[in-house]
Each structure stands twice: as structure tokens, then as C-alpha cells.
């Protein structure tokens, strides 16, 4: 792995663990095994490196979600696979956690990939739900965009509840509730 890659991966890990304010350039350099000169050779400073790290995290999150969204199966199957995929629940969502970081939210450049990723997720979920409605896999469902926003909000809230309880149980309950909600919209003659 190149020095630039080590710096980005170190920044990603530290942002998830400590947030932006708690992540110093020195901590990134130490974790990456890189000197100050190397960091400033590749990045203009902490904000530039953090932006690269946030973008990388966002790209990875989108790619992982898209695997489930574009897989074969019904809309409920695909959304269910996304909801049940393996996650490090007690660490929280690496993108969602950044919304709680005042320095990231105060900087439009750093906030942009966070907002864009959550908007993409809501939009992509809405598309899957719309496909399900068009194919007759879901009936009586409210607006797909509203349901998509509910799914994202419930997942993010599930992370918060799980971290507060130091237990994955609240997250798993939130996912089960979403799956029950979707299952109630599957026609009984459609299996």
C-alpha cells in the first residue's frame, strides 16, 4: 500500500473512531507510519485528507449497498438483504456518525459527501421500492420516497440506540420492525 493509501485508510479509521476534531494530523501520520512531509506531499492539510477519507468511505458504503439493491429477487428480498447485511453496529455507521461531528457539518466541503451519500441511499431505496410496486410485489405502500427516508432514519437511529445500550439488540429490533412493515405490504398471493 502506498503512503497516500496508508494515510487515507488511517484517516478513515480515525474519523470513525474519534471524529474529525479528535483526529489529529499527528495521529494519522503515526497510524499510517508516515512522516509529516509525506502527508503534506499528498494532501494540503487535515481537511484535504479528511475529504479523501470521507469520499472513500462513502464510495465503499454505496458499493456495498448497491450489491444488495441490484441483486436478483423481489424488492423486499433486496432491501431485506441490505438491512440484514453484516455491520459493526456498535461502532455505528461511518457516514452517519459524521453528521454528529460539528466540524464536519460546519464545513460545506466535508459535509457534501456525507449528505450526497445519504441522499443517494434514500434515492436508491426509493427506486427499489418503486420497482417492487410496479411489479406488484408491494401493495398499499405509502410514497416510496417517504418509506426510503423511514428506512434510512430507522437504521441510523438503530445505530444510536445500540451504541447507547451497548447492545446490538435495539438495532436488530429496528431492522425486524422494518422487515415486518415491508412484509405487510406483500400481497398474500405473491410469494
What pLDDT, on the 0 to 100 scale, is given for residue 112? 97
Between CA 16 and CA 109 the distance in angstroms is 18
The answer, yes or no, to whether residue 185 has pLDDT greater than 80, is yes
Of 191 and 76, more confident? 76
140-158 pLDDT, tens per residue? 767 999 999 999 999 999 9
Please tell me whether residue 10 adopts helix, strand or coil conformation.
helix
Does residue 135 have a pLDDT over 60? yes
Whether 191 has a pLDDT exceeding 50, the answer reads no
**Whole-number mean pLDDT of the chain?**
93
- DSSP assignment, residue 22? T
The reported pLDDT for the residue numbered 1 is: 82
- pTM score, whole prediction: 0.90
Question: Has domain 56-183 been given CATH number 1.10.357.10?
Answer: yes
Report d(CA 166, CA 119) in Å as an integer: 28
* In the predicted structure, residue 104 carries a pLDDT above the cut 90: yes
Say if CB 65 and CB 124 are below 8 A apart.
yes
Query: What pLDDT is stored for residue 158 in this prediction?
Result: 97
Q: Report d(CA 170, CA 165) in Å as an integer.
A: 8
Distance CA(124)–CA(110), nearest Å, equals: 22
Mean pLDDT, rounded, for 108-136 = 96
**91 has a pLDDT exceeding 50:** yes
Report percent pLDDT > 70 for the chain: 98
Which residues are CB-neighbours of 115 under 8 A, at least 6 positions away? Answer: none
Lowest mean pLDDT among 24-28, 62-66, 186-190: 186-190
Amino acid at each position: 500500500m502506498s503512503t497516500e493509501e496508508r494515510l487515507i485508510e488511517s484517516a478513515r479509521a480515525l474519523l470513525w473512531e474519534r471524529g474529525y476534531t479528535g483526529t489529529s494530523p499527528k495521529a494519522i501520520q503515526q497510524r499510517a507510519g508516515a512522516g509529516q512531509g509525506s502527508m503534506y506531499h499528498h494532501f494540503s492539510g487535515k481537511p484535504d485528507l479528511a475529504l479523501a477519507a470521507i469520499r472513500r468511505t462513502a464510495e465503499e458504503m454505496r458499493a456495498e449497498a448497491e450489491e444488495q439493491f441490484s441483486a436478483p429477487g423481489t424488492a423486499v428480498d433486496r432491501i431485506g438483504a441490505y438491512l440484514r447485511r453484516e455491520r459493526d453496529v456498535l461502532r455505528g455507521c461511518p457516514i452517519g456518525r459524521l453528521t454528529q461531528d460539528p466540524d464536519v457539518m460546519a464545513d460545506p466541503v466535508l459535509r457534501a459527501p456525507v449528505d450526497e451519500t445519504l441522499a443517494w441511499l434514500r434515492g436508491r431505496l426509493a427506486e427499489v421500492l418503486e420497482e417492487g410496486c410496479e411489479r406488484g410485489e408491494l401493495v398499499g405502500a405509502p410514497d416510496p420516497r417517504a418509506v426510503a427516508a423511514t428506512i434510512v432514519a430507522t437504521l441510523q437511529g438503530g445505530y444510536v440506540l445500540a451504541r447507547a445500550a451497548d447492545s446490538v439488540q435495539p438495532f436488530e429490533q429496528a431492522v425486524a420492525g422494518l422487515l415486518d412493515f415491508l412484509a405487510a405490504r406483500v400481497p398474500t398471493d405473491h410469494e
